[in-house]
Amino acid sequence: IKGFQGNDLSDPKTIAACAKHFAGYGFAEGGRDYNTVNIGIYELNNTILPPFKAAADAGVATFMNSFNEIDGVPATASTYLQRDLLKGKWHWDGFVVSDWGSITELIPHGVAKDKKAAAELAVKAGSDMDMEGGAYESSLKELVEEGKVAEKLIDDAVKRILRVKFRLGLFDDPYKYCDEAFEKSELYSEANQKVALEAGKKSIVLLKNENDILPIKNSIKNIAVIGPLANDKDSPLGNWRAHAVENSAVSVLEGIRNYAPKGVKITYAEGAKLSTGDRSFLNPMTFNKDDKRGFAEAEKLAKQADLVVLVVGEDAFQTGEGRSQTNIGFAGVQDDLIETVQKANKNVVMVLMNGRPMDLSWSSKNIPAIVESWFLGSQHGNAVAEILFGKYNPSGKLPVSFPQNSGMEPLYYNQKSTGRPEGGAQVTYSHYTDSPREALYPFGFGLSFTEFEYGDIELSADSFSEGEKIEASISVKNTGNMVGEETVQLYLHDLVGSITRPNLELKAFEKISLKPGERKVVNFIIDKEMITYFTINKKWEAEAGDFEVMIGGNSVDLKKANFEFK
């Protein structure tokens, strides 16, 4: 939000940020976009709302409501979310915009019989701007004249919208963001490309690096780049790329050619096409399910190479809004291609391009190195190449958990214990009979080309009370041979609460850089605010009791200590 909005929204280099989607959009049943959400008041407050509260506190200019309902009330018609909470308790003064047509979608939701009724519900609930629904422009005037909508509600919505426009400086110059000279000087400028490259490098997560296959050694003289996404210059732009120029990104193949040392031979084979038919945001994806004509060439190059860089995953239009899947494995014939290449050459680095967690169960067992690159934008290939050739030491951490298989979803790190967490020799406890229940790659996980050693947690006190705080310190040492960055993560576990509490919750983190052999002490402050949550009393408060503090490089490998809040 601060990056978008800066300190002064009237600066032409700012943009009004939008917190979306308010609220519960990511909790749809079956993981299916736009679907029903059924959650309780405690999960809503403790899990979903805190990021939105943080956004409001940071001064985000706008909120966008969501398509889904929560417990029978569509978010666009929720007075509780928009008026009582956002504009009331949180004292937020921006404006709420509907999601695309979400006001008229109150009709198929079954809570409004027509556009007029939908407009009445939405404006009373606190939706200030109707995006693409046409309900406000066709009905609000008539609703006010009929006395069904108070004029003060319209005044409030108008005031909120105008306030943001004033802050943007649009009343001084309505065309200030339509500066062609500025566009020509800034778009694809050298400075911005450097920022894109830096952002790309920092977003990459190294998932596996068996036998230190990465960074690529000087002894490697023949690299085969294989895969349906290896020379893809469009997917790195992502699904929601607006008016980005198609096929303008640096592909992984191009990046490898840009960074490979002189004398290294680079060969390329697509192996197989991932998708068939038209690629666009509005078209459903169709996949190549049987064409393996490119396998022979891929296998040949793999056998001849010292190292294979295998680029697989998802097409950009396979992921994103409206692209919900029941299977999060490799689409098309990619599974067969991966196996074919692995049999031809065991020295494989898999580069993933994807927008969601994937089922990597086979790859994790059989591929020695896996690099999660996501969709990195215009400098995608160069960012990947800097990792592969050791120009940059990967430092990214997973913001999601990767499952053992698709059937484990929804999978998240902050799970609760349940009444039967462990069973020993018995089967009647919370587990799967055909799979481990732990994530394949957990939240917060990410490897480096160096190693980090964590000391024990030191607490400034073993208890604190109202108005006091504890300092938690931990020593981290770079025990490897390369400069590296590490994100030190602090988690808390409320051992006994008035409602059931997660086994761990990320509460703080700090990224540090360490030279080989260097040690740093990282300090975190634990105070009342950090342990406050929405309790059985339906209010935010800190309850007295025992807590466990955990610090480490991911959500699994953690040092532990205990303290008490009195």
Judge whether 308 and 345 are in contact, CB under 8 Å.
yes
| Nearest residue to 515 via CA among 544, 553, 477, 459 | 477
Place of tokens 């450097």: 194
pTM: 0.96
- 89 burial level (CB within 10 Å; 0-12, 13-18, 19+): exposed
| Nearest residue to 527 via CA among 466, 456, 473 | 466
Number of neighbouring beta carbons within 10 Å of residue 147: 8
Q: Is the pLDDT of residue 343 over 90?
A: yes
- Dihedral of alpha carbons 42, 46, 52, 53, sign: positive
pLDDT, tens digit (0-9, with 9 covering 90-100), for 197-223: 999 999 999 999 999 999 999 999 999
Give backbone dihedrals phi and psi of 47, rounded to 5 degrees, phi first: -110, -45
For the chain, percent of residues with pLDDT exceeding 70: 100
For the chain, percent of residues with pLDDT exceeding 90: 95
Place of tokens 């064409």: 291
pLDDT, tens digit (0-9, with 9 covering 90-100), for 45-91: 999 999 999 999 999 999 999 999 999 999 999 999 999 999 999 99
Lowest mean pLDDT among 170-179, 376-385, 480-489: 170-179
- Residue 420: C-alpha distances to residues 309, 331, 356, 430, 531 (Å): 44, 36, 30, 6, 25
Read off the amino acid at residue 74.
P
Give backbone dihedrals phi and psi of 197, rounded to 5 degrees, phi first: -65, -45
Give helix then strand counts, H and E, for the chain. 16, 24
- Alpha-carbon span 546 to 438, nearest angstrom: 26
- Alpha-carbon span 152 to 369, nearest angstrom: 61
Q: Is the pLDDT of residue 490 over 90?
A: yes
- For residue 249, what pLDDT is reported? 97
- For residue 359, what pLDDT is reported? 96
Per DSSP, which regions of 157-239 are E strands?
205-209, 222-226
- Quickly list H helices, 389-520: none
Judge whether 551 and 488 are in contact, CB under 8 Å.
yes
- For residue 434, what pLDDT is reported? 93
Please state the CATH superfamily assignment of the domain spanning residues 190-396 in this structure. Glycoside hydrolase family 3 C-terminal domain (3.40.50.1700)
Mean pLDDT to the nearest integer, 464-491: 97
- For residue 376, what pLDDT is reported? 98
pLDDT, tens digit (0-9, with 9 covering 90-100), for 378-387: 999 999 999 9
Locate CATH 2.60.40.10 in the chain. Answer: 452-565
- Dihedral of alpha carbons 460, 553, 505, 373, sign: positive
The pLDDT confidence band at residue 282, using thresholds 50, 70 and 90, is confident
Read off the amino acid at residue 437.
R
Mean pLDDT to the nearest integer, 166-179: 94
Locate CATH 3.40.50.1700 in the chain. Answer: 190-396
Locate CATH 3.20.20.300 in the chain. Answer: 2-168
Instruction: Report which DSSP code applies to 466.
Output: T
Partners of 502 in the β-ladder: 416
pLDDT, tens digit (0-9, with 9 covering 90-100), for 256-275: 999 999 999 999 999 999 99
Partners of 534 in the β-ladder: 540
- For residue 181, what pLDDT is reported? 93
- For residue 90, what pLDDT is reported? 98
Selected from 1.10.10.10, 2.70.210.12, 2.60.40.10, 3.30.420.40, the CATH number assigned to the domain covering 452-565 reads: 2.60.40.10
- For residue 87, what pLDDT is reported? 98
Q: At what angle do helices 380-388 and 252-259 cross, to 10 degrees?
A: 50
Catalytic residue chosen out of the listed positions 71, 99, 234, 315: 99
Region 2-168: CATH code? 3.20.20.300
pLDDT, tens digit (0-9, with 9 covering 90-100), for 537-550: 999 999 999 999 99
Mean pLDDT to the nearest integer, 338-359: 97
Question: Does the annotation mark 173 as catalytic?
Answer: no
- For residue 436, what pLDDT is reported? 93
- Alpha-carbon span 320 to 356, nearest angstrom: 9
The pLDDT confidence band at residue 279, using thresholds 50, 70 and 90, is confident
Q: Is the pLDDT of residue 280 over 90?
A: no
Number of neighbouring beta carbons within 10 Å of residue 94: 24
The pLDDT confidence band at residue 285, using thresholds 50, 70 and 90, is confident
3-state helix, strand, coil in the chain (%, to 5): 30, 20, 50
